[in-house]
Structure 1
Amino acid sequence: MEQKKYFLGMTQAEINECVMELNLPKFTGKQIADWVYLKRVKSIEEMTNISLKNREIISERYDVGRTEPLNVKTSVDGTRKMLFRTESGKFIETVTIPEDDRLTICVSSQVGCKMNCDFCMTGKMGFQDNLSANEILNQVYSVPDSEKITNLVFMGMGEPLDNYKQVSKASDLLMADYGLAWSPKRITLSTIGLTSNLRRFLDDNKCHLAVSLHNPIPEQRLEIMPIEKSAPITSVIDLLRDHDWSHQRRLSFEYIMFDGVNDSLLYARELTKLLAGLDCRINLIRFHVIPMSKLKPSTDENMIKFRDFLTAKGFISTIRASRGEDIFAACGMLTTAKVNENSK
């Protein structure tokens, strides 16, 4: 029996094509999109303004494409981490972070990651699969309190620009008028700096961008981030300098601080030289210790000195609060390696 196709992850045009193939009334396409994206139904059966006969016809070949998380863990600070099974039988993690009247969702774009950064658990599990637009959107639609989500960050498992087509499609669907009609300002894409797709991203939409920098000295960045060899940070910065940042789109740089590695004022000076003239903010991040890495977190004192130096040089700089560390949901701690291995 042929596997059913999922409406969640399809554009309005793609849904319309499905309706035409089934010889159903043209307006059924709009009805389906409305039920899937706005009314958030989980089954064809719930689409009650479509006749029972037509729902049966649709159900023979299509499904909504929603799957619930297999597991939900809640941190003492309210952060939640969800485990989802992918279509290929692999597993991914998704995180939601509450703060005042905001609820940010941190979504995954891949199972594992090719980048193999020394400070990231996801990279240690290697690359296993790209997620489809359906699997990306399912995270948004199926987490607890999904209707309360105010912001989305592509900062979960994987490198978003290494799965650009599906990440871009999922983002477009969130912003579509028949989707959730989100402003691009509600979405931030975090990248290690894959220049091959970075230009496309900047040209295609207006979502915010966060670049994983972590060391301003190329030779030392290479030691913890192998991507520096094929996509040097200087090339990334040159590309960003060519873009117009004068509108509301935000550019930020992520800087995880490691004790005795990149946390002295020497690095702060090099960072200000590298980013001089760019309208950006710098987010300083505490390192969360992971297995298989000798790196250690910087002290609070050094982080504050580093931030104050950047501020004195005219940069907007913040120390990001750690969230969800007790359930391994904090930055750099997401991994499903053990779950994937046990499922074989």
Structure 2
Amino acid sequence: MFGLPQQSLEALVSRLDMPRYRVDQIMRWLYRHHVTAIEQMTNLPQADRRALEQITEIRVRPPQQSLTSSDKTRKYTFETDATDLVETALIPEGKRMTLCLSSQVGCRVGCRFCATGAMRLRGNLSPAEILNQYRSVPERDQITNIVYMGMGEPLDNLNAVVDSVELLTSEHGYGLGNRRITLSTVGKPEPLARFLERCDVRLAVSLHTPFQEQRRELLPGTRGYDLDQLLRILRDRARQDARRVSFEYVMLKDVNDSLEHADATARLLAGMQTRINLIPFHPWQGNDMLPTPAARIEEFRARLEQRGLIATVRASRGMDIEAACGLLATKRPPIAPVVVHG
């Protein structure tokens, strides 16, 4: 029952011949009172509670493990219904507390610099498994922002991600403001267009290079489309509200950190009035790429700003517990990768 889209819950209530207002009551218990059992929904008649218990349950799980970094970043590990593991990062920064949600176990995009991509795709998370990461962290009520930047490519699990966003923002769900939520994606045009039709949250697009062929090498899962397709959608989005679109760029030594790359990035994004976040690469075992030195990152950032872009350097958080960007990767022995169609 937890994580069930509102329309599906309405259908369930109708099938049980309960009044329509029962949906609002149930959702309030699930997302405002955080009950763990149907029996705890005390303003529902006992007969209705018994009927619900016959066909459904509230399936939520506490974190299986938690680690705290020297910089106060926390990493939580959750078990999925398939008994696999997924990681979630919680990042405190001043008055902000950001929760980094995962949408898949592993990822099929296969970014060369990302430990999650090296896992390959092992499974999609359900809406309940995505939402459980928010519901079950001890700091839930202190969280100010949510980012879909954990394990997985959110648009490869489109329906579950949309359902989870709708429950996070619905007045009958958690009631969070749209601008408190950011979805990070490599930007596959077709699912991106469908997502934007259904959800109005901030976007952070993983760019990493302005050159088409190099992007296909660094992000193998983007080989089916070109940057022009993606930029057309993003320019339309930015015209509606430039604050809703930003770009991410992992800095890789002698790979994508030249001034030629900076100039080409500025040309690619010209006129969008957007922000680009430069992310230091975080090395991990089994990967031979190197991080760009801090001085060169600053030179790159300054060049982008000279060319008219707003550019910032993201602080590295949670390095000592492998919670930093690109490091989330559960250690359970691998199973055969799943094939997801569509």
When normalised by structure 1's length, the TM-score is 0.92
Are the counterparts in 1 of residues 238 and 272 from structure 2 also a CA contact under 8 Å?
no
Are the counterparts in 1 of residues 165 and 199 from structure 2 also a CA contact under 8 Å?
no
For residue 308 of structure 1, what is the amino acid of its counterpart? A
Q: Which residue of 2 aligns with 1:42?
A: 36
Using the TM superposition, give the Cα deviation of residue 25 of structure 1 relative to its aligned residue in structure 2, in angstroms: 4.4
Moved more, 234-243 or 151-160: 234-243
1:329 and 2:323 are equivalent in the alignment:
yes
User: Cα distance 1:244–1:252, how it changes in 2: closer, same or farther (>3 A)?
Assistant: closer
Task: Give the whole-Å Cα distance in 2 for the aligned partners of 1:247 and 1:196.
Answer: 20
Secondary structure of the 2:122 match is strand
Following superposition of structure 1 onto structure 2, how do residues 90-169 of structure 1 map, counting pairs within 5 Å? 90-169=84-163
Task: Give the whole-Å Cα distance in 2 for the aligned partners of 1:306 and 1:37.
Answer: 44
1:176 and 2:165 are equivalent in the alignment:
no
Moved more, 10-19 or 201-210: 10-19
Cα deviation 1:79-98 (Å, max 9, x = unaligned): 11111111112111111111
Are the counterparts in 1 of residues 242 and 273 from structure 2 also a CA contact under 8 Å?
no
Q: Which residue of 1 aligns with 2:339?
A: none
Determine which of 263, 268, 274 is the counterpart of 1:274: 268
Task: Give the whole-Å Cα distance in 1 for the aligned partners of 2:79 and 2:333.
Answer: 10
Task: Give the whole-Å Cα distance in 2 for the aligned partners of 1:241 and 1:22.
Answer: 47
Using the TM superposition, give the Cα deviation of residue 236 of structure 1 relative to its aligned residue in structure 2, in angstroms: 1.2
For residue 103 of structure 1, what is the amino acid of its counterpart? M
Using the TM superposition, give the Cα deviation of residue 222 of structure 1 relative to its aligned residue in structure 2, in angstroms: 2.4
| Runs of 5+ consecutive residues of structure 1 not aligned to the other structure | 1-6
Cα deviation 1:52-86 (Å, max 9, x = unaligned): 44333322322222111110111111111111111
1:86 and 2:94 are equivalent in the alignment:
no
Are the counterparts in 2 of residues 213 and 233 from structure 1 also a CA contact under 8 Å?
no
Task: Give the whole-Å Cα distance in 1 for the aligned partners of 2:77 and 2:86.
Answer: 6
1:62 and 2:48 are equivalent in the alignment:
no
Using the TM superposition, give the Cα deviation of residue 248 of structure 1 relative to its aligned residue in structure 2, in angstroms: 6.4
Secondary structure of the 2:304 match is helix
Q: Which residue of 1 aligns with 2:338?
A: none
Task: Give the whole-Å Cα distance in 2 for the aligned partners of 1:79 and 1:185.
Answer: 22
Secondary structure of the 2:76 match is strand
Are the counterparts in 2 of residues 218 and 228 from structure 1 also a CA contact under 8 Å?
no
1:339 and 2:332 are equivalent in the alignment:
yes
Are the counterparts in 1 of residues 242 and 272 from structure 2 also a CA contact under 8 Å?
no
1:195 and 2:189 are equivalent in the alignment:
yes
Q: Which residue of 1 aligns with 2:11?
A: 17
Using the TM superposition, give the Cα deviation of residue 219 of structure 1 relative to its aligned residue in structure 2, in angstroms: 2.2
Task: Give the whole-Å Cα distance in 1 for the aligned partners of 2:223 and 2:129.
Answer: 31
User: Cα distance 1:28–1:243, how it changes in 2: closer, same or farther (>3 A)?
Assistant: closer
Using the TM superposition, give the Cα deviation of residue 266 of structure 1 relative to its aligned residue in structure 2, in angstroms: 1.5
For residue 192 of structure 2, what is the amino acid of its counterpart? L
Q: Which residue of 1 aligns with 2:255?
A: 261
Secondary structure of the 1:334 match is coil
Task: Give the whole-Å Cα distance in 1 for the aligned partners of 2:273 and 2:195.
Answer: 18
Q: Which residue of 2 aligns with 1:235?
A: 229
Q: CA RMSD in A?
A: 1.7
Task: Give the whole-Å Cα distance in 2 for the aligned partners of 1:251 and 1:111.
Answer: 26
Are the counterparts in 1 of residues 169 and 178 from structure 2 also a CA contact under 8 Å?
yes
Secondary structure of the 1:9 match is coil
Aligned residues: 335
Determine which of 213, 217, 231 is the counterpart of 1:219: 213
Using the TM superposition, give the Cα deviation of residue 50 of structure 1 relative to its aligned residue in structure 2, in angstroms: 2.2
For residue 49 of structure 1, what is the amino acid of its counterpart? N
Are the counterparts in 1 of residues 242 and 274 from structure 2 also a CA contact under 8 Å?
no
Using the TM superposition, give the Cα deviation of residue 233 of structure 1 relative to its aligned residue in structure 2, in angstroms: 2.4
Are the counterparts in 2 of residues 212 and 255 from structure 1 also a CA contact under 8 Å?
yes
Task: Give the whole-Å Cα distance in 2 for the aligned partners of 1:314 and 1:276.
Answer: 8
Determine which of 19, 27, 34 is the counterpart of 1:33: 27
Secondary structure of the 1:252 match is strand
User: Cα distance 1:23–1:228, how it changes in 2: closer, same or farther (>3 A)?
Assistant: closer
Using the TM superposition, give the Cα deviation of residue 310 of structure 1 relative to its aligned residue in structure 2, in angstroms: 1.3
User: Cα distance 1:56–1:203, how it changes in 2: closer, same or farther (>3 A)?
Assistant: closer
| Runs of 5+ consecutive residues of structure 2 not aligned to the other structure | 336-342
Using the TM superposition, give the Cα deviation of residue 249 of structure 1 relative to its aligned residue in structure 2, in angstroms: 4.4
Using the TM superposition, give the Cα deviation of residue 199 of structure 1 relative to its aligned residue in structure 2, in angstroms: 1.2
Task: Give the whole-Å Cα distance in 1 for the aligned partners of 2:265 and 2:87.
Answer: 32
Matched-pair identity in %: 43
Are the counterparts in 2 of residues 193 and 233 from structure 1 also a CA contact under 8 Å?
no
Are the counterparts in 2 of residues 16 and 30 from structure 1 also a CA contact under 8 Å?
no
